[in-house]
Amino acid sequence: MTQVAAPDSLLAEGLARIAEEIDGAFDALLAVPDDARARLVEAMRYAAIGGGKRLRPLLLASVAEMYGVQREAAIRAGIAIESIHVYSLIHDDLPCMDDDAVRHGKPTLHLAFDEATAVLAGDSLHAFAFEVLSDPATSADPFTRIELVRTLGHASGAQGMAGGQMMDLVAETSEFDLQTVTRLQQLKTGALLGAAVEMGAILGRIPPEGRTHLRGYARDIGLAFQIADDLIDHEGDAAVAGKAVGKDAAAGKETFVSLLGPDRAREQARMLVEQAVGHLAQHGREADLLRAVARYIIERDH
C-alpha cells in the first residue's frame, strides 16, 4: 500500500522553493537587450515571471531529486518545460483562440502588449525551451540533452499538447464522448505533465524500462489534474482561479464534469490520485513530495 502521507509543509516548501528558483532563472536567462528587441523580451518576461504554480518544474525537479540529480540541471530543464507551458497559454489566450482577458490574475499578454507581440513572444519562448535544453549547462552529456529535447518536442507538438488543443477547438462543435474527452485531455494537459516526470528520470539517467511506474503516476495525475480543472471551471471563483471560469459550459464543450456529473467526477479524480500514489510504492520517503503533489492536484482551487 501507499507510504505515510507527506506533511503539508513539504508541499508548501516545495511549491515556494520551485517558484523562487524558476522566477530567478527566468530573470537571469531572459536579459533585456538594448535594441528594438527589448519589447519582445519584456513581453516574454511579463508572461514567464511571477505567475503560475510551476507544477511542471515541480514534478520534474521532484523526480530528479529522487534520483540525486544536481538541482541546477533540474531547474534548467524546468525552465524549458515551463517555457513551453507559458507559450501555450499566451497563444491559447489570443482573441482567435480562447480570447481570454485575465491570466494569473493580470491582463493577458496580448492586452498588456499587443497581439503581434504576443504571437512572437510565444514563438520566442518556444524556441527558448530548446535553446536551454541543448546548452551544455543543462547536462554535460549530449545524449541526456538530446533525450530531453526529443521528449519535450514530442510532448508539445501535434502528437501531444498542440494536438490536444486542436481537439479542444473541434470539441466546441462536436459531441465528444467520455473516451474522446479522455484522449483530448491526455494530449492537451497529460502529455506535458508526463514529459515533466519523464525529463526528471532522463536527468537521473534512468533507462526507459525503469520509468514505467513513473509513467503510470504521470498518466493518473494528468487525468486527475484535468478533472480538477473542469471542476474549477464548473464551480470555481474567477478571483481565486486567476482566470475566467464557466467557459466550457458557455462554449458547449463536453468535459468530465458535464459527462460524469460533479460528484462522480470528484470521486474519479480522488481514485486516480490514490492510484497515482500507488505507483510510487517501490519508493520510500524520497517520493513523499511526489505523493504530496498528487494530492495537491485535486485539492487546489486554482
Nearest distance from C-beta of residue 20 to a copy of itself, angstroms: 24
142 part of the interface to a copy of itself, by CB under 8 A: yes
146 part of the interface to a copy of itself, by CB under 8 A: yes
Q: Give CA torsion, residues 116, 119, 123, 125, to 10 deg.
A: 100
CB atoms within 10 A of CB 130: 17
Q: Which stretch binds a copy of itself (CB under 8 A): 113-121, 210-218, 276-284, 285-293?
A: 113-121
Q: Which stretch binds a copy of itself (CB under 8 A): 16-24, 61-69, 142-150, 280-288?
A: 142-150
Nearest distance from C-beta of residue 214 to a copy of itself, angstroms: 21
**Which of 1, 4, 116, 140 is close enough to bind a copy of itself by CB under 8 A?**
116
Q: Which stretch binds a copy of itself (CB under 8 A): 58-66, 165-173, 195-203, 233-241?
A: 165-173
**Which of 62, 108, 124, 186 is close enough to bind a copy of itself by CB under 8 A?**
124
169 part of the interface to a copy of itself, by CB under 8 A: yes
> Mask of contacts with a copy of itself, 62-101, x by CB under 8 A?
-------------------------xx--x--xxxx----
126 part of the interface to a copy of itself, by CB under 8 A: yes
184 part of the interface to a copy of itself, by CB under 8 A: yes
In whole angstroms, what is the distance from residue 69 CA to residue 30 CA? 24
128 part of the interface to a copy of itself, by CB under 8 A: yes
**Which of 1, 4, 28, 36 is close enough to bind a copy of itself by CB under 8 A?**
36
- Residues making contact with a copy of itself (CB under 8 A): 33, 35-37, 39-41, 44, 87-88, 91, 94-97, 110, 114-117, 119-120, 122-124, 126-128, 130-131, 133-135, 142-143, 145-147, 149-150, 152-154, 156-160, 162-163, 165-167, 169-171, 174, 176, 180, 183-184, 187
